[in-house]
A and B are shown apart, each in its own frame.
Chain A
Amino acid sequence: MLYPDTVEAEVLVHKPWFVVTMFAVILAIFLAFNLTGTTMGELMRPVIGDPLQSGLYGRFAVAFVVAVIFSLNVVLIGFAPLKIQIAIVWFELLLLFLAFFETFHLSLPFIWEKLPFLITQGAVTTLYVSAISIVIASVIAILGAVAKLSTNGFAYAIASFYTSFFRGLPLLMQVYLIYLGLPQLGFVIDAVPAGILALSLCYGAYMTEIFRSGIQSIDRGQWEASRSIGFGFGITMRRIILPQALPVIIPPTGNQFISMLKDSSLVSVIGVWELMFLARTLGQKSFQHMEMLISTALIYWIMSICLELIQSRIERHYARSKVR
C-alpha cells in the first residue's frame, strides 16, 4: 500500500478535463480504425443503414458510440468502492481478452477433446516437477544462505562458487548439461529427474541469495537476545531468526515459485511430457497450434493465479504479529 495523503482528492476519472480528454482520445482512435465492417457496425445497422455503405458518417457514429460507452463505463466505475472497482476492471479486461482470442476462430471441439489430456498429463507433470524442485531448491537455499553467512571459509567458498556458477549459466543450458552430460560420466539419468535436478540447482542458487538477505534483515539484537537466553545456533536459527525472516523471504520466493512453474517448460526440450511439450505436439498433426498454445497459456496462467493466492494467504498469516 502506498501511503496516501489524508486529504481526499477528487476522483481523477470524475474531473471534467479528464473525461473530455478521454472521450476525445477514444473518439480519435476509433475514427482512425474503420469499425463499420465489424460486429459493432452490424449492431449499429438501424442507425447508419448498411454498414459497408455508410461511409464517414457510419465511421463517426460507431466511434462516437464506442467513446460514449467507454467514458460512461469509466465514470461509473469511479463511483464504486475500491474492491468493486478492482473486480469490475479485472472482469472487463478479461472479457476483452477473451473477445480478442475469439477473433482467432479457434476450434472449441478440438480444445475440449485435448483438454483432459493436457491437464492430466501436462499440467500434472508441470506441477509435480516444479513442486519437487521448489522443495529441493528451498532446502539448498537455506543451507546455501547459512553457508554464505558463516565464517567458515570452506562453506563460504563452496556456497559462493555454487551460486555464481548456477546463476551464471542459462537454465536451458543447465538442463542440457545435466541430461546429456551426466550419462557421459556414467550416470544415465531419466528426463524427469534430470529436469528436476537442473531446476532445483538453478533456483536454489537464486533463492540462496533471497534467504541470505532475509536472514541478514533481522536485527542483531534478536541473535543476542536468543543467545543470552542460552539458545544454541540451531534453535536460534529455526525458532527465532527464520520465522522472522520468512515475511521478508516469502514475497520474492513466491515470485520464484511462479517463475519456476513457467521455467519448467524448459525441460520440454529433453522430452518430458509437461504442458509446453504437449502444447507444441498435440496441435501439430492437424495444424491447430493456436488452439493448444492458447489453452496451455490459460492453464499456466490459472496455476500462477493459484500460487499468487496462496502467497498472499501466507503473507497475511505472517502479518499477524505486526498488527498494532
Chain B
Amino acid sequence: MSMDLIIEAKDVAKWYGAFQVLKDINLTVRKGERIVVCGPSGSGKSTLIRCFNRLEAHQKGEITVNGITLHDRMRNVAEVRKNVGMVFQHFNLFPHMTVLMNCMVGPMWIKGASAVEAKKIALRFLERVRIPEQANKYPVQLSGGQQQRVAIARSLCMEPAVMLFDEPTSALDPEMVSEVLDTMTSLARDGMTMVCVTHEMGFARAVADRVIFMNSGQIVEEGNPEAFFTNPQHDRTKLFLSQILKH
C-alpha cells in the first residue's frame, strides 16, 4: 500500500438487520483527491462515508484510513477521527457554545492546545471560511449558510488529512448554497483531500477528480466528471442524471 492512500475500502459490506446497505464496496482515496459521491436517496452514500470515521460499523471487508484499519475492537478510534473531519447535513454545531468555542474545543480537548493557541487556530480557520466577525455569537444567531461554514471551520481546526461532507448543502436555503460551495471549492483549490456526498452537480463538475455513482448499496459507476456527465455508461446513471438535470 502506498503511503499517499488516505482511505482504502476493500469489499466493504454492511447490513441494517436483514437489509444490506453496502455491497462489496471497493474505493481508494489518494492524498489530495476530491471525490464526489452521488446517487438516489437510500443508496448508501451517507452510510459509506460515515463508515470512514467509524460513526457506522461495517460488517465485512476492510477499511483503512490514514494507515489505521477500522474494526470492532480498535482502541485508537480517536486517532482516526482526529485525522478525518466531518461536515453534516444539519451542521450539528454545539448550540451551547459560541462560534469561537465550537472551533476551539477540538484543539483544546484533543490536542491539548492552550486556550490562547486554540483561539489563534480557531480565528485562523474562521477567517478561512470568511466569518471571523461572528466569532462571539451563538450558532442560533447565524444563518444556515454561516452555520455550515462554521461547521467546516470547526473540522478544519483539527487540521484533518481528509474532509468528509455529508450532503452539506441539502438543508440550506438556495441563496446560501453558493457560499458553502464557494468555501468548499476554495478548500479543494488548496489541495484538501475531500469526499463529498452531494447533489450539486455544478460543484462536482468543477471540483471533483472523480465522481462515484451509487445505487442500492453498490458503486455502479465511477469516472472523471467529464466522462460521467457527458457519457454515462450505466442505465441507472443515465436515469439519475436525466432526473436531476431536467430542471
Q: Which residues of A contact B (CB under 8 A)?
A: 219, 221-222, 224-232, 235, 239-240, 243-244, 318, 320-324
Specify which of B55, B95, B141 is in contact with A228 (CB 8 Å cutoff). B55
Complex: chain A residue closest to B83, CB-CB:
A230
Q: How far is the CA of A243 from the CA of B138 in the complex (A)?
A: 15
Specify which of A224, A318, A324 is in contact with B88 (CB 8 Å cutoff). A224
A228 and B94 contact, CB distance less than 8 A:
no
Q: How far is the CA of A317 from the CA of B87 in the complex (A)?
A: 30
- The answer, yes or no, to whether B105 is at the interface (CB within 8 Å) is yes
Q: A224-B86, A225-B93, A320-B138 are in contact. List 5 more A-B contacts (CB 8 A).
A: A222-B94, A224-B88, A227-B81, A239-B109, A243-B96
Q: How far is the CA of A221 from the CA of B93 in the complex (A)?
A: 9
Most chain A Cβ neighbours within 10 Å, of B84, B88, B109: B109
**Residues in chain A near residue B78, CB distance under 8 A:** 230-232
Kindly provide the distance from the CB of B33 to the nearest chain A CB, expressed in whole angstroms: 20
B95 and A321 contact, CB distance less than 8 A:
yes
Q: List 17 A-B contacts (CB under 8 A).
A: A219-B92, A221-B88, A222-B92, A224-B55, A228-B53, A228-B81, A228-B85, A229-B154, A229-B155, A230-B78, A230-B81, A239-B105, A244-B95, A321-B96, A322-B95, A322-B140, A324-B140
Complex: chain B residue closest to A322, CB-CB:
B140
Kindly provide the distance from the CB of A30 to the nearest chain B CB, expressed in whole angstroms: 54
Q: Which residues of B contact A (CB under 8 A)?
A: 53, 55, 78, 81-82, 84-86, 88, 90, 92-97, 105-106, 109-110, 138-141, 154-155, 158
**Residues in chain A near residue B88, CB distance under 8 A:** 221, 224-225
**Residues in chain B near residue A231, CB distance under 8 A:** 78, 109-110
Kindly provide the distance from the CB of A261 to the nearest chain B CB, expressed in whole angstroms: 29
**Residues in chain B near residue A323, CB distance under 8 A:** 138, 140-141
Beyond A221-B88, A224-B88, A322-B140, is A230–B82 a contact (Cβ under 8 Å)?
Answer: yes
Complex: chain B residue closest to A320, CB-CB:
B138
A225 and B81 contact, CB distance less than 8 A:
no
Complex: chain A residue closest to B154, CB-CB:
A229
Most chain B Cβ neighbours within 10 Å, of A219, A222, A230: A230
A230 and B94 contact, CB distance less than 8 A:
no
**Residues in chain A near residue B155, CB distance under 8 A:** 228-229
Complex: chain A residue closest to B107, CB-CB:
A229
B141 and A324 contact, CB distance less than 8 A:
yes
Specify which of B96, B109, B141 is in contact with A244 (CB 8 Å cutoff). B96
A229 and B96 contact, CB distance less than 8 A:
no
Q: How far is the CA of A226 from the CA of B141 in the complex (A)?
A: 21
